[in-house]
A and B are shown apart, each in its own frame.
Chain A
Amino acid sequence: DVKVTQSSRYLVKRTGEKVFLECVQDMDHENMFWYRQDPGLGLRLIYFSYDVKMKEKGDIPEGYSVSREKKERFSLILESASTNQTSMYLCASRGTGDLDTQYFGPGTRLTVL
């Protein structure tokens, strides 16, 4: 079974803090994704990566950056957290096929005070 893990289930940070969200997958997937999920809105893609050290902006990259130094790990960075970044963050991974299923981690609920 594919397993996608995220470093924290719940996180509380202060405005202006630098925040790291980590995601690890164990299925040797090339593609990894970061989404945020807010009530009443669909999953919104922040960034994705199709290979080590490669990254592409999604629909809402502003205020975020990412790092993919190893194939299994994809990190989301909030350089200076703001209250409007309070959200549920979901990481997903997918194999090489464009139509392969995405497998999601359990999510990190981030609150920025």
Chain B
Amino acid sequence: GQNIDQPTEMTATEGAIVQINCTYQTSGFNGLFWYQQHAGEAPTFLSYNVLDGLEEKGRFSSFLSRSKGYSYLLLKELQMKDSASYLCAAVDSNYQLIWGAGTKLIIKP
């Protein structure tokens, strides 16, 4: 079966760094998306990885290891506004998105 795992909740301190992990098992693989979702709002696109390695985009970076079925989202210099849920979604062989349940990130001052 197809499966995405990510931690349910994480807590971090303002100004710190946090890494949100995501492991996936899919029938075929065509890349992985990360979305951010603030409470009561729509998910918004953060990143897409299809090749192994780290992609940096400002304070946010996303990493992919295809051989390990693993990705992470790295958030640096955390700000209070980064408090949100972070959704991981893998693209299977039919180009359908398989979504994780999301990681709720709580930022404390």
| B-binding residues in A (CB < 8 A) | 4, 40-45, 90, 98-99, 101-107
Contact = CB atoms under 8 A, between A and B. Distances in A.
Contacts of A98: 30, 91, 95
B87 A99 contact: no
Interface stretch (B13-21, B37-45, B59-67): B37-45
Please report whether the interface of chain A is mostly helix, strand, loop or mixed according to DSSP: loop
B12 to A, nearest CB: 21
B42 A4 contact: yes
B99 A43 contact: yes
Interface residues of B, number: 24
Please report whether the interface of chain B is mostly helix, strand, loop or mixed according to DSSP: loop
A87 B58 CA distance: 34
B30 A99 contact: yes
A105 B42 contact: yes
B101 A90 contact: no
Contacts of B50: 99
B3 to A, nearest CB: 10
A43 B35 CA distance: 12
Contacts of A104: 42-44
